[in-house]
């Protein structure tokens, strides 16, 4: 808990709920690779100005490179082909065209080696060691060809380095995005599995509880039917047994449901805020002190649920304040629920027997060494105060 945090709406810290962007953030796509084709503007300029030795051959080479490059990139991102050999075959053709036009025309055409390396990084089938070997060969040959055609060792080194870096960075970034997607899918699968396991546990518990109980009730009901015509007293005894079994089953089911629905204090505060707002009551939540242990958090969560339920149903209030304080030493917690209404009507007074009424909450807190006080808050309103020793439990991090 954060010291003296006032909350009105939204999440438990007052901020807007976080949005799930995993489905929208899909990473780079094939169109991301298209702007890099502008690196071939120099070659296009040579063709237009007539500086290339054979204009028609140069134009066909440029068209072939761009066409195969686009094919490789889009097939590498196409779910139907990305894991097949189709992008690999396209990359092989692109490699042949790159070597041909670079050796034939040289100069600005050498920039197609980094483009070839960039396209190779998108091909999943060769990632890992094969791709590293390919980048080593491409960068080495690109630097060698550039050194012989240009004669400038620094420019040749830059071409070789750019070729290696383009493919390595592309493959690394795409692999990182693939890993993030796999982790997100794994997280969703684990969450789904956890929900299914909890549902299975709950259904199994109910089956165990109801299966035996209903079987006993059926057997005793049959006994009542047989005994009623000739022995009314024995039939009445069996009826009493049915009643006792039914009451016991009801208690066990309540305990099972309670254990299933047990929530933390932060969860109950969120639910209370939502319920108060829906009833037109302004919620104000304040929390201060160290975090609460799990058992204390669950017990105080029940107090919040009962207090807010009474406020919504019976108080006629316009404002409800919930304050949670934990001593600096972390040895005692105090929860206060206060409203500005007229309090519950006598006919709508909370339950005085077990369950989740005030008496039941008092008993549950007393079992943990705590206390519960409820009554009028001065001239107007109703106040519910719960105090609970923490007893050295391990705190819950919220």
User: Read out DSSP for 309-332?
Assistant: HHIIIII--SEEEEEEEE-TTSSE
Query: Element (H or E) spanning 383, and its range?
Result: strand 382-389
Q: What would the pLDDT profile of 236-246 be if each residue is shown by its tens digit?
A: 888 888 888 78
At 369, give phi and psi (nearest 5°).
Answer: 85, 15
Q: What is the mean pLDDT of residues 290-310?
A: 84
At 123, give phi and psi (nearest 5°).
Answer: -85, 110
Q: What is the mean pLDDT of residues 320-338?
A: 88
3-class SS of residue 262: coil
Q: What is the mean pLDDT of residues 40-59?
A: 82
- pLDDT, residue 259, reads 59
For the cut 50, the answer to whether the pLDDT of residue 24 exceeds it is: no
Phi-psi map region of 346: left, alpha, beta (phi>0 left; psi -120 to 50 alpha): alpha
For the cut 70, the answer to whether the pLDDT of residue 166 exceeds it is: yes
Q: What would the pLDDT profile of 66-80 be if each residue is shown by its tens digit?
A: 999 999 999 999 888
Phi-psi map region of 50: left, alpha, beta (phi>0 left; psi -120 to 50 alpha): left
For the cut 70, the answer to whether the pLDDT of residue 129 exceeds it is: yes
Q: Are 268 and 371 in contact (CB under 8 A)?
A: no
- Residues recorded for the chain: 398
- pLDDT, residue 263, reads 57
More confident residue, 92 or 259: 92
For the cut 80, the answer to whether the pLDDT of residue 385 exceeds it is: yes
**Residue 314 in tokens:** 């019976």
Percent of the chain past pLDDT 70, that is, above it, reads: 83
- pLDDT, residue 350, reads 43
**Residue 226 in tokens:** 């047989």
Helices (H), 78-152: 86-105, 112-121, 129-150
For the cut 70, the answer to whether the pLDDT of residue 26 exceeds it is: no
Q: Distance between CA atoms of 11 and 26, rounded to whole angstroms?
A: 27
Cα–Cα distance list, 148 to 42, 106, 157, 216, 267 (Å): 20, 10, 12, 96, 71
Position 65 confidence tier, pLDDT thresholds 50, 70, 90: very high
For the cut 60, the answer to whether the pLDDT of residue 85 exceeds it is: yes
3-class SS of residue 346: helix
- pLDDT, residue 260, reads 55
Q: For residue 66, how far is the Cα from the chain centroid?
A: 41
Q: Are 287 and 273 in contact (CB under 8 A)?
A: no
3-class SS of residue 51: coil
Beta-carbon contacts of residue 71 (< 8 Å; ≥ 6 apart): 90
Percent of the chain past pLDDT 90, that is, above it, reads: 16
Q: What is the mean pLDDT of the chain?
A: 79
Query: Element (H or E) spanning 388, and its range?
Result: strand 382-389
For the cut 60, the answer to whether the pLDDT of residue 286 exceeds it is: yes
Q: Distance between CA atoms of 336 and 284, rounded to whole angstroms?
A: 12
For the cut 50, the answer to whether the pLDDT of residue 349 exceeds it is: no
- pLDDT, residue 258, reads 64
Strand partners, 385: 336, 373
Whole-model pTM?
A: 0.47
**Residue 99 in tokens:** 């070597």
- pLDDT, residue 392, reads 53
- pLDDT, residue 312, reads 79
**Burial class of residue 346 in the structure, from the number of CB atoms within 10 Å of its CB (0-12 exposed, 13-18 middle, 19+ buried):** exposed
Q: What is the mean pLDDT of residues 354-383?
A: 77
């Amino acid at each position: 808990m954060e010291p003296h945090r006032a909350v009105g709406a939204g999440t438990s810290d007052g901020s807007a709920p976080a949005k799930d962007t995993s489905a929208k953030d899909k990473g780079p796509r094939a169109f991301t690779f298209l702007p890099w084709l502008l690196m071939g503007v120099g070659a296009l300029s040579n063709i237009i100005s007539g500086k290339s030795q054979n204009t028609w051959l140069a134009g066909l080479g440029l068209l072939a490179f761009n066409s195969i490059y686009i094919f490789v990139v889009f097939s590498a991102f196409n779910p139907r082909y990305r894991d097949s050999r189709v992008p690999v075959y396209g990359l092989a053709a692109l490699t042949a065209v790159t070597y041909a036009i670079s050796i034939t025309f040289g100069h600005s055409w050498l920039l197609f080696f980094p483009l070839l390396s960039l396209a190779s990084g998108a091909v999943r089938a060769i990632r890992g060691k094969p791709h590293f070997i390919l980048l080593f060969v491409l960068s080495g040959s690109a630097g060698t060809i550039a050194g012989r055609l240009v004669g400038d060792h620094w420019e040749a080194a830059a071409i070789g380095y750019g070729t290696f870096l383009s493919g390595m960075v592309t493959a690394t970034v795409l692999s990182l995005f693939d890993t993030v997607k796999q982790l997100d899918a794994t997280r969703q699968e684990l969450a789904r599995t956890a929900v299914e396991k909890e549902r299975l546990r709950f259904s199994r518990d109910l089956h165990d509880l109801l299966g035996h109980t209903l079987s006993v009730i059926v057997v005793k009901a049959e006994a009542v039917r047989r005994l009623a015509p000739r022995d009314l007293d024995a039939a009445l005894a069996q009826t009493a047994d049915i009643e006792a079994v039914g009451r016991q089953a009801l208690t066990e089911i309540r305990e099972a449901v309670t254990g299933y629905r047990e929530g933390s204090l932060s969860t109950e505060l969120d639910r209370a805020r939502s319920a108060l707002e829906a009833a037109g009551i302004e919620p104000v939540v304040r929390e201060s002190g160290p975090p609460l242990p799990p058992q204390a958090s669950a017990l105080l969560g029940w107090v919040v649920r009962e207090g807010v339920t009474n406020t919504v149903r019976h108080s006629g209030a316009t404002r409800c304040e919930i304050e949670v304080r934990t001593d600096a030493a972390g040895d005692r917690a105090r929860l206060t629920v206060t409203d500005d209404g007229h309090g519950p009507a006598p006919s709508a007074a909370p339950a005085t027997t077990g369950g989740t009424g005030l008496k039941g909450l008092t008993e549950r807190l007393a079992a943990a060494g705590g206390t519960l006080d409820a009554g009028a808050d001065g001239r107007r309103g109703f106040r519910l105060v719960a105090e609970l020793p923490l007893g050295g439990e391990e705190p819950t991090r919220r």
